[in-house]
Structure 1
Amino acid sequence: MRRLTAILLPVIGLLYPFLVYFGMEHVDTPVFALALGAVWLIRAPSLLKQPGGRWMVGAALAYCVILAFSGEAALLRWYPTLISLLLLSVFALSLRFGPPIVERIARAREPDLPDAAIPYTRKVTWVWVGFFIFNALTSTILTLWEPISWWTLYNGLIVYFIMGVLFIGEWVLRRRLRGKS
């Protein structure tokens, strides 16, 4: 059951643009809000233990409440922007109040992380801050001025391609840097 709940939120996140695209005409906005809120509540216990988890859960649930009570289908398109802004906040605040998120992730795999790796993890965290700024802006522009088909294509496919390039690029760079040390 724990594994199921651990993958539920990411899967809903991946499918969300398509659910909105295909469901806006057939599902009332409060139903979307209720389902999304339920997913966040299911994941809340584990998210509350993570850096920035309280803010993420609180903001996501506040979004669901606004969505439910407004009934505005147009608000459904703001969810990817909200998530990007929340992740931007978590990553940026970790740079200010440390340790950076990427360092925390690295230490989870390698508790005795070499001191030389710390500046690198800080730089990678900055790259993700830049990505979240770009993603929030792109998603906002698509929400405000472009058709839902473009919004769905970007938020349901293109953004994951960009993230994949970032992950693979960082992995390749890290392997090269480790080979030189």
Structure 2
Amino acid sequence: MRRLCVLLAALVLALYPLLVWWGVTHQQLLPALLVLSLGFTMRLILASGSTPVPGQGLRAVAGLGLLLCLLVWWHQQTQWLLWYPVLVNGLGFALFFISLWQPMTVVERIARWQEPALPAAAVGYTRRVTQVWCLFFLLNGAVAGWTIWLGDMRYWSLYNGVISYLAMALLMAGEYLVRRRVRARIDDMERSCH
């Protein structure tokens, strides 16, 4: 049941730009706010049992989303909803950037869940991947902000609901391919040392 709730919350929040677009363009803001609030509430509750790294971020993002829904409901100004992608990217940037000055970056912590005895060469790689994600969050958030400035829901929805997701998927796929090559090189180095 928990897995189903996690998937449902993820689906609702992935559809955030579409729900906002639909609510604004069809004057159906209240139903959109209710669905989004339910998704954010489920994410907040489900993230409380998560491991620290993603759990903190998921709770913060869900809290921001709920706050924006409350502001829209209270002030009856849809503009607040448009800031969610900017805030999420800002939060992602902050979490990844701050981790660069900690003993373990966010990416290294995630990598250590799969492989606790991470080789030293892989640690350096995780630091570079963290830097790449920082740049992604910074650029993605800036473009999301620019779409607000343009003032056209079509551009906002297209970028935040399609292009941004495609860019993230491409980055993840590219990183996966690079990681496989780096891993093969590390394995070759370890074999030659033995």
- TM-score scaled by structure 2? 0.83
- Cα root mean square deviation, aligned: 2.0
Distance 1:14 1:56, change over 3 A: closer
Partner of 2:85: 80
CA distance in 2, matches of 1:88, 1:27: 33
Partner of 2:94: 89
The number of residue pairs the alignment matches comes to: 181
Q: How does 1:29-178 map to 2 (within 5 A)?
A: 29-48=29-48, 49=50, 50-178=55-183
Distance 1:156 1:98, change over 3 A: farther
Residue identity in the other structure for 1:145: L
**Is contact 2:15-2:161 (8 Å) kept?**
yes
CA distance in 2, matches of 1:132, 1:88: 5
Q: Displacement of 1:35 after TM fit?
A: 2.8
Residue identity in the other structure for 1:72: Q
Q: Displacement of 1:101 after TM fit?
A: 1.3
CA distance in 1, matches of 2:157, 2:59: 28
Unaligned runs of at least 5 residues, structure 1: none
Partner of 1:24: 24
**SS at structure 2 position matched to 1:112:** coil
Higher normalized contact order (CA 8 Å, seq sep 6+, divided by chain length): 1
Identity among equivalent pairs (%): 36
Residue identity in the other structure for 1:35: V
**Is contact 2:47-2:59 (8 Å) kept?**
yes
After TM superposition, the structure 1 stretch with the greater mean CA deviation from structure 2, 66-75 or 124-133, is 66-75
Larger Rg: 2
Q: Displacement of 1:138 after TM fit?
A: 0.3
**Is contact 1:67-1:75 (8 Å) kept?**
yes
**Is contact 1:37-1:61 (8 Å) kept?**
yes
Residue identity in the other structure for 1:26: H
**Is contact 2:69-2:81 (8 Å) kept?**
no
Unaligned runs of at least 5 residues, structure 2: 187-194
The one of 175, 182, 185 equivalent to 1:180 is 185
